[in-house]
C-alpha cells in the first residue's frame, strides 16, 4: 500500500428526522387529540485514533463520509429512530484541521493516543411532533417541527508519525542499514540515493522492557525545503521526536571540511522549521569500514581536537553500534514523544 500522509475529506452528520402531524383516530374517541411523535436525532461524526492504520491512503480513494439521518416521527406518539453515528478511524498521530472555503485551516484535534475519539460534526436535532404544540387555545395543532440539518465540514488530515527518535541525513548515508541493525525493521537497502521513499519505523527494547520508536526519514539534500529531491515531504514526521540521530556517510566527509555534510542537513531543518534545528542530536559518521585506518584515525583526532561529539560506526558490520545504542538510551529516555 502506498504511504500517504495528507488527505482532504468532507464529513456530513445526519439530518434530524421530521416531527409528525397526527391525531388519534379510534372508534370510541371521536375527538382524539394530537399524537404525532418526534423525529430522531441525526448521527454524529467522530474521528478515532487506531493503531491498526499506518497511512491515509484510503482517504485519497474515498473523500466523502456521511452519518445516518434520523427517522421521522409517527402517529401514536412514536418517536423516530436516531441515526447511527459514524466513527472514522485514522492512524495514531493524525492531526485533523477544519478547512474553510478560502483554504485556511484551524486545528481541531491531534490524535496521539490509540482509542482517542473526538466529535467533528454534530447531528441535527429531531423535530418535535404536533403533540408538543397542543394548548387550551389550540387543541388540534396541524404543524410539527422539521428536523434540523446536519453539519458538513471539510477536514484536512495530516499524519505525523509518533516516534521517540528520528533518523536524518543525506541520501545513502546508511540510515536504513542502521535501523535494520538495531531493530526488527526491514527497510529496503541498496547502494543508491533515495532507497527509502517512505518513513520506516523500528523499535528497540532494553532489558527492563522499555522501548523506543525510531523513524527513518528519507534522505534530504541541499534545497530540500524548497522541494528539491524528496523535498520537505517527510520532515513533518520528526516534529514529535525528542532526539535526532544525524547520520553522515564517510564517503561524504571531505578532508578540508569534514563536518559540512551535517551543516547541509541542519540548515534544511532550520529553513523548514527553526524549532527542528533546536532538537538534541547525536551525530554519526557511518561506513567507516570503507576508510583507511590511518585516515580514520586522523578524522577521529580532528573531532576530538575540535570537541566535536561524533560516533564513528559501521552499521553494516556492527562496529561501534553497541556504544551508540547506549548513548541513544541515555539521551532519549523512555518518556512520551514530544508533541
pLDDT 10s digits, 92-114: 989 999 998 888 899 999 999 99
Mean pLDDT of the chain: 84
Nine-digit cell string for 23: 391525531
Which triple of cell numbers denotes residue 38? 418526534
Q: At what angle do helices 321-332 and 175-182 cross, to 10 degrees?
A: 80
Q: In a 3-state reduction of DSSP, which class is residue 280?
A: strand
- Rounded to an integer, what distance in angstroms lies between the CA atom of residue 24 and that of residue 30? 9
What whole-number distance in Å separates Cα of residue 23 and Cα of residue 35?
Answer: 5
Predicted model pTM: 0.73
pLDDT at res. 179: 86
C-alpha to C-alpha distances, 310 to 92, 277, 282, 288, 303, nearest whole angstrom: 33, 17, 7, 13, 7
- The per-residue pLDDT for range 142-173, each reduced to its tens digit, is 999 999 999 999 999 998 877 888 888 888 78
Q: What is the pLDDT of residue 320?
A: 93
CATH number of the domain at 6-159, please?
2.70.210.12
Domain boundaries, the chain: 6-159, 165-332
Q: CB 127: neighbour CB atoms within 10 A?
A: 24
Per the CB < 8 A criterion, the answer to whether 285 and 269 are in contact is no
How far, in Å, are 136, 293, 320 from residue 161 at the CA level? 64, 39, 28
pLDDT tens-digit profile of 258-310? Answer: 998 898 888 878 887 888 878 899 999 999 998 888 889 999 999 999 999 99
- Residue 219 pLDDT exceeds 60: no
Asked if the 165-332 domain carries CATH number 3.30.930.10, the reply is: no
CB-CB contact of 6 with 55 (8 Å): no
Neighbours of 133 (CB within 10 A): 18
Mean pLDDT of 114-119: 96
Amino acid at each position: 500500500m502506498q504511504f500517504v500522509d495528507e488527505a482532504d475529506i468532507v464529513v456530513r452528520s445526519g439530518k434530524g428526522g421530521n416531527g409528525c402531524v397526527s391525531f388519534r383516530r379510534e372508534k370510541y374517541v371521536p375527538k382524539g387529540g394530537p399524537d404525532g411523535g418526534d423525529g430522531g436525532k441525526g448521527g454524529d461524526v467522530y474521528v478515532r485514533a487506531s493503531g491498526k492504520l499506518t497511512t491515509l491512503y484510503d482517504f485519497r480513494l474515498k473523500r466523502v463520509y456521511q452519518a445516518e439521518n434520523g427517522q421521522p416521527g409517527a402517529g401514536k406518539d412514536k418517536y423516530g429512530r436516531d441515526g447511527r453515528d459514524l466513527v472514522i478511524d485514522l492512524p495514531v498521530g493524525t492531526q485533523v484541521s477544519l478547512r474553510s472555503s478560502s483554504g485556511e485551516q484551524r486545528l481541531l484535534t491531534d490524535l496521539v493516543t490509540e482509542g482517542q475519539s473526538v466529535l467533528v460534526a454534530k447531528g441535527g436535532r429531531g423535530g418535535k411532533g404536533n403533540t408538543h404544540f397542543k394548548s387550551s387555545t389550540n387543541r388540534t395543532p396541524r404543524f410539527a417541527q422539521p428536523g434540523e440539518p446536519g453539519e458538513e465540514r471539510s477536514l484536512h488530515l495530516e499524519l505525523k508519525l509518533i516516534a521517540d527518535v528520528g533518523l536524518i541525513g543525506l541520501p545513502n548515508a546508511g540510515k536504513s542499514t542502521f535501523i535494520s541493525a538495531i531493530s526488527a525493521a526491514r527497510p529496503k537497502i541498496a547502494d543508491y540515493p533515495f532507497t527509502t521513499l517512505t518513513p520506516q519505523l523500528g523499535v528497540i527494547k532494553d532489558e527492563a522492557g522499555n522501548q523506543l520508536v525510531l523513524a527513518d526519514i528519507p534522505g534530504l539534500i541541499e534545497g530540500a525545503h524548497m522541494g528539491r529531491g524528496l523535498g520537505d515531504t517527510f520532515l513533518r514526521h520528526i516534529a514529535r521526536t525528542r532526539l535526532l540521530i544525524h547520520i553522515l556517510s564517510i564517503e561524504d566527509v571531505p578532508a578540508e571540511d569534514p563536518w559540512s555534510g551535517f551543516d547541509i542537513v541542519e540548515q534544511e531543518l532550520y529553513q523548514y522549521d527553526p524549532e527542528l534545528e533546536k532538537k538534541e542530536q547525536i551525530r554519526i559518521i557511518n561506513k567507516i569500514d570503507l576508510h583507511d585506518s590511518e585516515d580514520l584515525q586522523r578524522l577521529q583526532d580532528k573531532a576530538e581536537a575540535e570537541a566535536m561529539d561524533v560516533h564513528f560506526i559501521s552499521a553494516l558490520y556492527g562496529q561501534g553500534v553497541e556504544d551508540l545504542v547506549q548513548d541513544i538510551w541515555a539521551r532519549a529516555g523512555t518518556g512520551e514523544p514530544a508533541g
